[in-house]
Structure 1
Amino acid sequence: MINRTVSFKAMLLAGSIAAFPLAQASAGADDAVQPVDYVAGSWMLYRHEYVTQEGRVIDTRANGISHSEGQGYGMLIAAIADDRKSFERIWGWTKANLYVRGDNLAAWRWDPAATPHVADTNNATDGDLLIGWALAKAAHVWKDSDYARDAKRIAEEIADKTVVDTAFGKALLPGERGFGATDQPDGPVVNLSYWVYPAIAELGVASSRFPADELIRTGLSLTQTARFGPAALPADWISLKGKTPMPASAYPAQFGHDAIRIPLYLAWYSRDHSDLLTPFADAWRDTNNGAASVIELANATTLSQMPEAGYRAVTELVGCSLGRETAAPTAAAFETTDYYPSTLHLLSLVAVAERYPRCLPDTQ
């Protein structure tokens, strides 16, 4: 994959794109006036690299597959960038190819090399949350009641099929099948990176049947208590079977590429959880000079680095939330490297622009 960088300010000065204001300032953002939208130009580059003309978002790290998570991310950023044409293309492809279960949840994976393209009809709950959130946001931006109706249906299906009661409160199963108390020896098993807090909050508005407040309380509580080893970080996969959360036995006990989204979503959701974000920033400082890495939890050993700019953008977002950083230069200079780090990069840029605009150039 060719590394490409966009300087949105330079593109604006050249007159090559239009600036779109962010649709709505987030509650609690640290400035009353939004900065020039850095997102629109970055979205154009992301769209060029990862979104087909048909509306399929391509995971370049997984042999060109598509999944509900990626479709949800694409729809979300398109709505934020006020790009309705792209939103409709992505949503249209998603409906035609992933909604094969007979309900309002999407099949999690579509493989262009397989026959049939969808071999596993299980859902991925984070993908459903993202799609529902994107539809709710689109309904607001474009005043479209059909999108609002679809968001409500997805929220209620998630509540009916993937929300369970545990000893720690209402929790999100990562999928309808395979993670419950009877599915794994130490089930239920959860993944805290599936707690997309801004999505959960917005879907709670979309439907009164969606238990947003309870889910948010559980997620925040687990982020506080499910900290393992010297680094005091959560594992990618966590068992809720016992009296205390534990790393799930079927998965490596590590803070990895899934779990890096936990602080991203937390910092995006609210600036009021410094106690939960501090362990992430401290671990990055102590193990890898401030950079993100995959960390083995038993002894806080760095297993591998996360060198791409997208991961650095997450650490800058967390630093801005904690007040440890006054600028997010990497986040502001979006570049494409590969699907997943590029997606985290763009999400971090959106979060900084919406909630911590003082960290962007020329907005302080």
Structure 2
Amino acid sequence: MLPRRAALLAMSGSMAGASAAKAQSPDHFHRIQWAAFRNRFMAPEGRIIDTGNDHVSHTEGQGWAMLAAVRADDRASFEKLHRWTNRTLRRQGDELFAWRFRPGAARPVDDPNNATDGDLFIAWALLEAGRRWGRADCTTQGTAMARDILRLLCAQAGPFTVLLPGSQGFQRTDHTVVNPSYYAFPAIRALAMALPDPAWLRLAADGVALLRASRFGRWGLPPDWLTIRHADGALALPGDWAPRFSYDAVRVPLYLAWVGLADEPALIGPADFWSDRQHRHMPAWTDLTNDGISPYAASPGITEVARLTRALRERSRWLADRPVGALDMPNYYSAALSLLAGLAAWDSGMA
């Protein structure tokens, strides 16, 4: 299947329509899952706390929580999340958000750069809130964010139209740095519906092509970070980050599963990696240069993403196998992955 065809499937109106319809009738499991996540990781003012990272907050967590709150029809929590994010992280001069808040620091928001994945999810959540609750202000803000994502975060790198990880710092003299896990195809689909523009299809098609071309190591896995050389489009692992399929790249198969792209190599590779019977435990990561794996097991959240990919590959249903509890949420990121896996299963018809 050509990348353009895969991108069209990922952005198909029929699947998006089904997602919107389901968003109006959230399942019981998601309500329970969201309540457990909210009660543990959301501060009273609407800040999502990353318990594994010095209790910072960032736009990925705000965006994921905002979307989950909409899907659970939890308007009170959504409004707290939205209000805190707007008041604390909104940038001057565009419709994007500063990526991080550090509690207790002299300047809690000390880096004005954005994180594109967070912006995609915030915009998506705003658009869904606008539809669900008749919030014209949310629809307007989500559409304005979509416009600035196209304007500020799409660039050409070699033969690819790419999604920059942030507006600053990723376009170097001879190469561009991208994060494959920032290609949140379900969010891109939602923004394309709100702000129709052929650029979305180019972005999605080249994103699929990039994922197909950037497979490394024994299992053919996408990396956490990737460089694209401007002169010829050559792909390589950057020296600035560990050369791993790890906590970022785990979201690549998640987002492909979310839009039903079961036959993409960037989903098949991780599914094979996680189910390799030679592992003594399910690894949290692998080094893409030597195929070494983490000495410890993957978190429950990564395990849920692995179950989701396996269910999609087997054309079976994804079902929660136990109630949500403290053992399922050892930290913010693991819990967030479990939350997202449930939403992905719901949207893609596997739940």
TM-score category (smaller protein) = 0.7 to 0.9
Corresponding residue for 1:237? Answer: 225
Within the alignment, does 1:115 sit opposite 2:106 as a pair?
yes
Q: Specify whether residues 331 and 99 from structure 1 end up closer, same or farther in structure 2 by C-alpha distance, changes over 3 A only.
A: farther
Q: What secondary structure does 2:73 align onto?
A: coil
Q: Contact (CA 8 Å) 2:221, 2:266: kept in 1 or not?
A: no
Corresponding residue for 1:208? Answer: 196
Deviation at residue 166 of structure 1 after TM alignment = 2.1
Alpha-carbon displacement from aligned partner over 1:165-208 (angstroms, at most 9, x marks no partner): 122321111011110133xxx53000010011100011111213
**Residue from 160, 165, 169 that aligns with 1:169:** 160
Corresponding residue for 1:17? Answer: none
Deviation at residue 332 of structure 1 after TM alignment = 6.7
Q: Specify whether residues 231 and 65 from structure 1 end up closer, same or farther in structure 2 by C-alpha distance, changes over 3 A only.
A: same
Of 57-66 and 139-148, deviating more is: 139-148
Within the alignment, does 1:341 sit opposite 2:334 as a pair?
yes
**Residue from 256, 259, 262 that aligns with 1:266:** 256
Corresponding residue for 2:10? Answer: none
Corresponding residue for 1:26? Answer: 19
Q: How does 1:1-364 map to 2 (within 5 A)?
A: 25-26=18-19, 36-182=27-173, 187-209=175-197, 211-241=199-229, 242-286=232-276, 288=279, 291-323=282-314, 326-330=317-321, 333=324, 335-357=328-350, 360=351
**Distance in 2 separating the partners of 1:236 and 1:199:** 19
**Distance in 2 separating the partners of 1:106 and 1:326:** 36
5+ residue gaps, structure 2: 1-15
Deviation at residue 333 of structure 1 after TM alignment = 4.3
5+ residue gaps, structure 1: 1-22
Aligned AA for 2:113? Answer: N
**Distance in 2 separating the partners of 1:342 and 1:51:** 12
Alpha-carbon displacement from aligned partner over 1:302-334 (angstroms, at most 9, x marks no partner): 034443211110001101111175554458746
**Distance in 2 separating the partners of 1:54 and 1:76:** 17
Q: Specify whether residues 327 and 105 from structure 1 end up closer, same or farther in structure 2 by C-alpha distance, changes over 3 A only.
A: closer
Aligned AA for 1:270? Answer: G
Q: Contact (CA 8 Å) 2:221, 2:270: kept in 1 or not?
A: yes
Deviation at residue 243 of structure 1 after TM alignment = 3.2
**Distance in 2 separating the partners of 1:113 and 1:330:** 39
Q: What secondary structure does 1:165 align onto?
A: strand
Q: Contact (CA 8 Å) 2:47, 2:62: kept in 1 or not?
A: yes
Corresponding residue for 1:7? Answer: none
Q: Specify whether residues 341 and 150 from structure 1 end up closer, same or farther in structure 2 by C-alpha distance, changes over 3 A only.
A: same
Aligned AA for 2:193? Answer: V
Number of matched pairs: 330
**Distance in 2 separating the partners of 1:132 and 1:332:** 30
**Distance in 1 separating the partners of 2:298 and 2:228:** 32
Q: Specify whether residues 291 and 105 from structure 1 end up closer, same or farther in structure 2 by C-alpha distance, changes over 3 A only.
A: same
Q: Specify whether residues 173 and 304 from structure 1 end up closer, same or farther in structure 2 by C-alpha distance, changes over 3 A only.
A: farther
Q: Specify whether residues 139 and 169 from structure 1 end up closer, same or farther in structure 2 by C-alpha distance, changes over 3 A only.
A: same
**Distance in 1 separating the partners of 2:216 and 2:250:** 15
Q: What secondary structure does 1:229 align onto?
A: coil
Deviation at residue 35 of structure 1 after TM alignment = 8.5
Q: Specify whether residues 35 and 101 from structure 1 end up closer, same or farther in structure 2 by C-alpha distance, changes over 3 A only.
A: closer
Identity of aligned residues (%): 35
Alpha-carbon displacement from aligned partner over 1:203-250 (angstroms, at most 9, x marks no partner): 111213482211111111111110012221111110011433111122
Q: What secondary structure does 2:175 align onto?
A: coil
Q: What secondary structure does 1:189 align onto?
A: strand
TM-score (ref. length: structure 2): 0.87
Deviation at residue 338 of structure 1 after TM alignment = 0.5
